[in-house]
Structures are given as structure tokens and as C-alpha cells.
Chains A and B, each alone.
Chain A
Amino acid sequence: MDDARTHITDYKTYAFIWACLLALTALTITVGAMHLSRYSVLICLAIASCKALLVLTYFMHLRYEGALIKGVIIMAILTLTVMIGLTFVDVWYR
């Protein structure tokens, strides 16, 4: 776990990630303009999740953090999934 403290991400890596993020932004705007109706929601959310993952992994250093912090985030995502999921069990089936 000293990995997290001793590892310093270098400027070049950050620049590369930044470029990826901009590219994905361009992609999502293009897809959004294509009016694919309900697929466009899914595709745009998928692209957004890729961007979020890049920010989490590299900018937020998650790649070099231990299991505990990764577990913390997973717990939060799980909780949100359950919350939204069970609410939709109501809303969908009314």
C-alpha cells in the first residue's frame, strides 16, 4: 500500500488521459447528434462511464490505491444501484 504514497504519476500520463477525455467528449457529442433515440441514452451513458473511469483510475489515483478504498467506492455504487433498482421495481410495474 506504500505504492499509493511513493508513486508519482508523471505529467505525460496525465496529458495522455486528458487527450482521451477530450476525444471521448467529441465522440459523445457526435453520437448525441445522431438521434439514435433510446440507444443514444445508453451509448452516451456508457461513454460517460468510460470518462468517469479514466478520471477515477488516473486523476484520482485509484489505480495505485489498495483494496480498502476500491471497496469503499464499490459499496457506494452498489448502494446506489440497489436504491435506484428497487425504486424502479415500483415505478416500472405500476
Chain B
Amino acid sequence: METINDKAEESRVGYKGAKLGMWFFLITEMLFFGVMFMLYSVNRYKYSQAFHIAALDENLVIGSVNTIILITSSFTMALSITAIRKGNKMLSCWLQLATIVMAFLFLVNKYFEWSVKIRNGIYPASPALLQKEKGEVLFYSLYYVMTGIHGLHVLVGIGVISTMLVFTLKEKINTESFVKLENTGLYWHFVDIVWIYLFPLFYLVT
């Protein structure tokens, strides 16, 4: 006997309920990153000179390229949803794949960016870092923590979008039932928005 708890969430709470739940989850993420932005702003207020100097050292090229990559991946993600809603399964799959590839590229860039820094002796509590101004120490700590946690979210995003890709191929996501993909898109756009703010705060405000 099929019980109420076996039915798919969407048929019980509906399309709207599933979306609403996802938005509530997103605002917890907003608060989560928001506190880190608060940490940044308090420390920036206290050490504006040091933040200015430290930001000059950031690799603007990689930062800009990564920004463009992430914005484009948001674009392909949005397109993939329109595609499946219009019944175009293969196009949606290709677009999801493109999103995954770009997310992966973002992380590869990040890896190079971090390796250069670490090779130069700039990492939390390193002897070289501790020699610098207090404000610079905090700048780099914030840099690693915030871009690191953001990067983790990108990684998780790759996992989730890959799962959705499989679902789309197997037609569990289709023209009638697509809220899972939409919710995944919402998550991915949120990750993009966080980077949209991280980029100027670490690379541009000099």
C-alpha cells in the first residue's frame, strides 16, 4: 500500500511548495555569506590602508576571467531550463554539461591562483604573512576563508548539476516535472551572485 510519505514531494506540496522551500534554503545561505561580508566590512573599516595595499597584489586577470566564466555558466544554466521546458531534452543536457565544465574551469583557475600565493609564502599564519601589517594578515585570512567557502559551494554545485544531468537524460526531469532543475538553477545563480560581490571586494577596491 502506497503511503502518503512515498509520494514525490512535488505532488504533495506542489510546484510552489518545492520552490518556496528552496528559496528559504537560499536565504539561509544569504545569511551565511552575509556574516562573512560583515566580518569583511568591519575589518575593512578598521584597516582600509592595509586592505588597499593587499588588494593590489591580487591577480586581476584571473579574477576577471573567473567572473566572466561564472556569469556565463549562470547563463547556460538558465538556458538549460528553458530548453527542457520547451521539450528540448538534448539541448538542455548540453547546456547543463557546459555549466559543469565552466564550474570546473573556475575551480582550476582558483587552484592556480591559490598555488601562486602559497608558493610565495602567503597563507594563513605563514611566517611571511605574519611579517606584514595586521590589516593585511586579516585581508588574506578573509580572502582564503571567503573564496574557499565559495569554492566549496561551486564544488557542491558541480555535484548537484551532474545529478540533474543524469535525471534529465533518464527523463526524470522533463517538460512536465522540472522543479528540481529550476531549484538547482536557483542555487547556481546564488553562487554566482556571491562571486559578483566577492570580486570587487577582493580584486577591485584599491
Contacts and interface: CB of A to CB of B under 8 A. Distances in A.
Direct contact of A and B (CB under 8 A): yes
A55 B42 contact: no
A79 B189 CA distance: 21
B90 interface: no
Main secondary structure of the interface of B (DSSP, over half): helix
Interface string B125-150: 00000000000000000000000000
Interface string B39-51: 0011001101000
A72 B82 contact: no
B34 interface: yes
Given A8-B82, A14-B79, A69 B200 contact: no
Contacts, number: 125
> B45, B48, B78, B182: which has the most chain A beta carbons within 10 Å?
B78
B79 A11 contact: yes
A61 B189 CA distance: 11
A52 B37 CA distance: 15
Contacts of A87: 38, 42
A15 to B, nearest CB: 8
B45 A91 contact: yes
Given A14-B78, A55-B189, A75 B200 contact: no
B105 interface: no
B70 to A, nearest CB: 10
Contact of B203 (A1, A17, A32, A58): A32
Contacts of A21: 71, 75
Given A52-B196, A52-B197, A73 B27 contact: yes
19 contacts: A1-B16, A8-B82, A14-B79, A18-B75, A21-B75, A28-B199, A28-B200, A32-B200, A41-B200, A51-B193, A52-B193, A55-B74, A59-B185, A69-B19, A72-B20, A80-B34, A80-B38, A84-B34, A84-B37
Interface of A: 1, 4-5, 8-11, 14-15, 17-18, 21-22, 25, 28-29, 31-32, 35, 38, 40-41, 44-45, 47-48, 51-52, 55-56, 58-61, 65, 68-69, 72-73, 75-77, 79-80, 83-84, 87-88, 91-92
Given A4-B16, A80-B38, 18 more contacts: A8-B85, A10-B82, A14-B75, A21-B75, A22-B68, A22-B71, A28-B199, A32-B205, A38-B48, A44-B204, A45-B201, A48-B199, A72-B20, A80-B30, A83-B34, A84-B38, A88-B41, A91-B42
Interface of B: 15-16, 19-20, 23-24, 27, 30-31, 34-35, 37-38, 41-42, 45-46, 48, 60, 64, 67-68, 71-72, 74-75, 77-79, 82, 85-86, 182, 185-186, 189-190, 192-193, 196-197, 199-201, 203-206
